[in-house]
Structure formats: structure tokens, C-alpha cells
Structure 1
């Protein structure tokens, strides 16, 4: 009986892990980390809620895990943006895109092409802004990235 309970627990944990955004959406140097940083816009510091990953415009952006597209469009600061829901109230945000290749309501698989990097919105140059929210709060994406 205990073994059966442990098997169910492991199965549940495996399914939960499969939904985690553990894959890098693009490969590139991280040129701005999560956390407080000097503001590129004004004097002083600001909180940066994600990672800025250097990428040439048009670089493919891939879904890091199975998910649902909850937003695909333009936002004031991030320009062209995609927001994915991974379950367990975990969302990932992809900003400054040049092209969005998915639509709200669509289901995407791990590794699926969702967008192309760009320089839209309030941006200092071509890159991908990658952010993870847990229950609406930004968390360091590096805590999830192991692939």
C-alpha cells in the first residue's frame, strides 16, 4: 500500500515537473539579470523582473514547456509580447519580439516555435526579455532553467 502511494506521488511529481518552464527559450548571453540594476532609462536603480537574453533580431523563440497561450500581442513596455500559462499558476513572458507566431487560446508543446526576437517596445537593443511569474509575482527564471 505504501509503495502504491509512493508510485502515485512520483507520477504526480513527474507530471508537475513536465510543465515547468525548464528550457531556455533562446540561446545567448544574458546581458541583464533578474533583480535590481542601474536603470537604462533614468538615474538610479530599478527592479528588473526577468532576464534579458542577447539575440539577433529574428532569432527563434521556443516554448520552454507545454503551455497555453494567454496573451499574444502588443504591450506598451515589452512591445510584441507572448504570455504562456504552464499550470500551477506559473506564467512566462516573452518581450520585445519582432513577430508573434501563436494566438491567445492556443496550446503549445515544449520546444515549439512561438515567436521571433526583436527590438519592439521600450528596449535598449535587440534581445529577448524573459520573465517568470508565480502567482503573479516575478521570480528569477534561472531557478527554473536546467535544460
Structure 2
């Protein structure tokens, strides 16, 4: 079949189809999906190369992670543990990734590459750079509101790097209500962590935990869902010299200053 144009030229039907397809193809719109925004990566815990811990009766993975300042997700991954993180007495857990190792020693061929004593010129070290005090970084946002876990005045404050001052101490009386600082799930309820007495740990998100120590009595069990302000314990002096609450907030396993998150009062 052929078609006659006004100019008198003749083109085949097949050629017309080809031209139409080409025109449609040029006019079509291709939908390009924008790449999704990269998800925020959680800062990994500070590993302890070569260090291990032996599981004792009554230990939980959350308790071991808390005691060593490591995020439980990292500890589980380093030891190939899946939820619900079952561990058993006598088990050895690495406090470092599977590829971690003790610092290498210079032996064998490496040692032979050292210059012979007395033959090498000792380099003069460059002058030490002048360092200025680093500015205090802004606290990470938890994304939810915190509330005070107990009434009373502060008798102890957080000190960065001090293993004995990783939270705040709130004075009170025996039996006084201890309340959850935010919604969450109880991941530890026991007395197996030395120095904390009767302790409760609540998981608020994958990155945030809070801890409540020195209680007289624990009122919640592991796995129990908790609402902010709900009473979880009675204040006491287990592991302490007076009736008080030791309260900690941890971000990715690392203690942070609770006063940067609790509302002023």
C-alpha cells in the first residue's frame, strides 16, 4: 500500500509507520527515580581489641553490653548472635569485631627491618602543635521527651570519662517511687551488675537506654512495655550508702550527661 502526498511524492505505508514510531519515541517522557536519601549511620561502639568476657550465671547480653559501655547491637553482631540474644554460662564473648585482634608485635621479618642499634640517625621530632581546648559537642537528639525519674535533690553529677560518675544521683527516701523517664521496654531487671544494686534498664529505641540503680524493690520484668512516668521500682540503698536513685542515659552504649536531656526544674 502507498500514500500520495500533495507534492506528488509517494511513500510506502511501512515508512509512515516508522516515522510515527520515531516521533512518539522522541516525545515520550522517561520517569527517573531519585535515589533515596542515605540513611543515617549509627556510630559504632568503641571496640576493645583482643578483649573477651566470660558469661556468668544470670548474665544477659544487655547487662554485659551495659557493663562494658558497648551498644548491644554491636556486641550481638560481633559475636554472631541473633534476637533474642540467648547466651549461656561459660560462653566467651568478644568485645571487638570478628576481624579484631590484639595489636601486632614486631617479630620476625618486621623486626629485621629495624635499623641496627647505633647505626641510624635519630630523627628530630617536629615541634608539638599548639592545641586548643575542643568545644563541647552538642548532645545528640533522642527524638523524644525525657522526664525526671524521681523527686529529690541532686547529690551526684555526671563526669565524662569517670567510671564512677556515669549518671546522676538523686537523693530520696526508702520506698519512694522510681518512674520511667520515657516510653520503652525493660531489657534488664536484676542485681547482677556490680555497683548498681537492684538495677533496671529500659530500651527506648535502637540507640537509647536508661538505667535505674540502687532500688529497694524492682516492680517490672524483662520484656515488659513501659510508659513514661510509670512506676518501675521503689527507691532504696542496694549497693549504696544511703537511699538514692542512680540514673543514667546511654546513647549507642555510651553514657551521656542526663542533665542535657532532662527538663530543668
The TM-score with structure 2 as length reference comes to 0.44
Shift of 1:54: 0.2
Matched, 1:17 2:143: yes
1:101 maps to what in 2?
219
1:13 maps to what in 2?
none
Larger strand proportion, structure 1 or 2? 1
2:196 counterpart (73, 78, 91): 78
**How many residues were matched structurally?**
122
Specify whether residues 73 and 47 from structure 1 end up closer, same or farther in structure 2 by C-alpha distance, changes over 3 A only.
closer
Flag the structure with larger Rg.
2
> Which secondary structure state, in structure 2, belongs to the residue aligned with residue 34 of structure 1?
coil
1:140 maps to what in 2?
257
Specify whether residues 136 and 46 from structure 1 end up closer, same or farther in structure 2 by C-alpha distance, changes over 3 A only.
closer
Paired with 2:164 and 2:181, the residues of 1 have a C-alpha distance of 24
Shift of 1:64: 1.3
The TM-score with structure 1 as length reference comes to 0.77
> Which secondary structure state, in structure 1, belongs to the residue aligned with residue 148 of structure 2?
coil
Paired with 1:88 and 1:129, the residues of 2 have a C-alpha distance of 22
Moved over 2 A (4+): none
State the structure with bigger RCO (CA 8 A, min sep 6), 1 or 2.
1
Paired with 2:228 and 2:165, the residues of 1 have a C-alpha distance of 26
Q: CA RMSD in A?
A: 1.9
1:49 counterpart (134, 143, 166): 166
Segments of 5+ residues of structure 1 without an aligned counterpart are 1-15, 37-44
Paired with 1:128 and 1:116, the residues of 2 have a C-alpha distance of 9
1:29 maps to what in 2?
153
- 1:123-138 → structure 2 map (5 Å cutoff): 123-138=240-255
> What CA deviation, in whole Å up to 9, does each residue of 1:23-79 have, x standing for no partner?
00001100011116xxxxxxxx86500000001011101111110000001032111
Shift of 1:86: 0.6
> What CA deviation, in whole Å up to 9, does each residue of 1:74-106 have, x standing for no partner?
032111000000104110010000000000000
Matched, 1:120 2:238: yes
